Amino acid sequence: MKVALLGGGITGLSVAWKLERKGHEVTVFEAGDRPGGLCRSETIDGYVVDHAGGHIIFSTDAEVLEFMLSVLGPGGAYKSERRARIFHHDRYVTYPFENGLGDLSPEHRFDCLKGYVEAWHTRKCGATEPTNFKDWCLWRFGDGICRHFMWPYNEKIWNVPLTELGTAWVRGRVPDAPVEDVLKAASGIKTVGYGHQAVFWYPTSGGFESVVKGVLSSLKTTKVRCATPVESVRRNQGTYEVNGEVFDRVVSTIPLPLLVKVLDAVPAEVAVATAGLAHTSLTTVFIALRNATVPDLSWVYFPHPADGPQNRVTFISNYAPNNAPTGCSSIMAEVTHLGAPSKSTEAIAAEVVDGLAGRGVLRHEDVAFTRTFSNRFAYILYESGIESRIETVRRFASEAGIDTVGRFGNYSYFNSDRCIRAAFDLAATYPDA
């Protein structure tokens, strides 16, 4: 079959990789100047930076993990232990927060532990699970952890009142720490939360985009057309016209709102549902440091506004030995916003630097340069009721015979490894040519 694949990010290229091996003729339509999407990277004066925050290579799916590592080739990935922290007032707290209560001051530790035990008891007594995210956090973690971390952090990243968010998206993403682990952590006994991320890999050179390039270089017959946005998709008696070219099948990984724009005869209810598919945007601020070190950590969450506008920073120079020039280091900070940022990227970068300097993470005089990267579609904003809107749009695309897959292609809150799994699963439904 002749397959049109809309979008050349990691999801699209993974679909192409599988379909090509099934003998299909695949053409990728990519609007950007090169493939990669949210997984693009740059190397600037010897500093490696990812456009969309700190990607890592990990998966509980053995096939996907092997695939990601194999496309990098022998020695192409550097293995690290996760060293993640939360900056809480004047100290680093072990991540996830409920496994780091022993790092808090005695007053904050008691506050969080008391609330957690009360919430645990309330759930055991049959309290109904709330349907909005703010109350769900209280039901799951208790008042102390909510006030000290969960509420301020999520308010910073989502930029909307937490009562407006639903809860379906957190299922499977926020493991429920056993109460024994929380009691141990509060008592100073080390516990490990989110064990599936305890070890991760990162490309030895070229940033996370090296994974994309590895997949791309393994494609033999697939045509990848860059700087070629999809302008129209029409169904015509069992075939499809994409930008006027005829194909047997269409796979879309571009955001659902962009896909609907290029389809014909969109019903009013689908247009309304599409308008309700909210998302957050991301400005990544890269900070190059000369002759300076950063903490021996992987990444750090910054929940409080006083720490700066960033919700997370990645110490990317710690991800692989060649990510910064010798004796230098680097930081990537993530700042989310709804729509276009209200300030210039220069102002955002300055606020991030000031915030991190004020917390002792860096010194102004060590900053060699900063760069900013804008990402329109970064995270799905799971406002209450979005599930029904997503289903309406998915159903319309499916009835039009279009396969949708990927984080924004199918509006599923997937990391890169789950995007690859979804790509593989979709390709498996196609017969061999």
- Which domains, and CATH codes, for the chain? 2-38+209-274+385-428 (3.50.50.60), 106-187 (no CATH)
Cα(302)–Cα(294) distance, rounded to whole angstroms?
16
pLDDT in tens, the chain (433 residues): 999 999 999 999 999 999 999 999 999 999 999 999 999 999 999 999 999 988 999 999 999 999 999 999 999 999 999 999 999 999 999 999 998 999 999 999 999 999 999 999 999 999 999 999 999 999 999 999 999 999 999 999 999 999 999 998 887 667 677 888 889 989 988 877 666 678 999 999 999 999 999 999 999 999 999 999 999 999 998 899 999 999 999 999 999 999 999 999 999 999 999 999 999 999 999 999 999 999 999 999 999 999 999 999 999 999 999 999 999 999 999 999 999 999 999 999 999 999 999 999 999 999 999 999 999 999 999 999 999 999 999 999 999 999 999 999 999 989 999 999 999 999 999 999 9
pTM of the model as a whole: 0.95
List CB contacts of 107: < 8 A, sequence separation 6 or more.
none
Cα(304)–Cα(283) distance, rounded to whole angstroms?
18
Kindly provide the residue ranges of all beta strands, DSSP E only, lying in 231-389, ordered along the sequence: 233-236, 239-242, 245-247, 249-252, 279-289, 299-301, 312-314, 329-337, 367-380
Kindly provide the residue ranges of all beta strands, DSSP E only, lying in 95-232, ordered along the sequence: 199-203, 223-225
Q: Which helix (H) or strand (E) holds 394?
A: helix 386-399
Cα(40)–Cα(20) distance, rounded to whole angstroms?
23
Residues 175 and 97 sit within 8 Å (Cβ to Cβ)? no
Neighbouring CB atoms inside 10 A of 348's CB total 22
